[in-house]
Chains A and B, each alone.
Chain A
Amino acid sequence: DQQVKQNSPSLSVQEGRISILNCDYTNSMFDYFLWYKKYPAEGPTFLISISSIKDKNEDGRFTVFLNKSAKHLSLHIVPSQPGDSAVYFCAARITGNQFYFGTGTSLTVIP
């Protein structure tokens, strides 16, 4: 039972444009959401997070939006750079329980 879903396996964007990665979840008990970035042959690295009491969190070029009514999470990267090409995982947490990860979206930024 996939509680966190990333329905787009891949995304291609031109350098300098906006990349929007989407994530849907089913469990209303999730209280914390995160995005991880993964390069080949490396483990995922933490990118940005958002608490369920907020609807937006910004960190430089990265912004995460949370729509609790729609159970939808998105990551915006502006402007996109070739170094952003990686697999992006969204994850959701129930405190004291575990992290649930999506299946990942492979982002390619075209120079």
Chain B
Amino acid sequence: KAGVTQTPRYLIKTRGQQVTLSCSPISGHRSVSWYQQTPGQGLQFLFEYFSETQRNKGNFPGRFSGRQFSNSRSEMNVSTLELGDSALYLCASSPGAGFTYEQYFGPGTRLTVT
């Protein structure tokens, strides 16, 4: 079974731009969660999608948004990028919603904002 894939793997943007990251979950998994990883902060939860609906949301500003498609693929968008948005963005898939099951992570997208 193929794992979680994320594209692109690396991205460089400038302040004020917007960016869209993509995540394809493991086949059959319907839950996708997004995390931001920065040094010293660990993994910070952004949001969870299940069956195209956002179920849970972390404590991030509205510049961070996401969506999920009918095939369970998910995208995350960050508008008006700030230097502090530089991070590794990880997505994780799970068979069910509500964090009932372990999550399987993709390799991440490394975003650098200059």
Contacts and interface: CB of A to CB of B under 8 A. Distances in A.
B32 interface: no
Contacts of B81: none
Interface string A41-77: 1111110010000000000000000000000000000
Contact of A103 (B41, B56, B99, B103): B41
Nearest to A2: B42
Interface string A77-99: 00000000000010101011111
A46 B107 CA distance: 13
Contacts, number: 58
B105 A44 contact: yes
Contacts of A95: 98-100
Interface in B91-114: 92, 98-100, 102-108
A85 to B, nearest CB: 18
B64 interface: no
Nearest to A96: B98
Q: Give the interface residue-count category, chain B.
A: 20 to 34
Contacts of B45: 98-101
A29 B104 CA distance: 23
A46 B100 CA distance: 14
Interface string A31-43: 0001010000111
Interface of A: 2, 4, 6, 34, 36, 41-46, 49, 89, 91, 93, 95-104
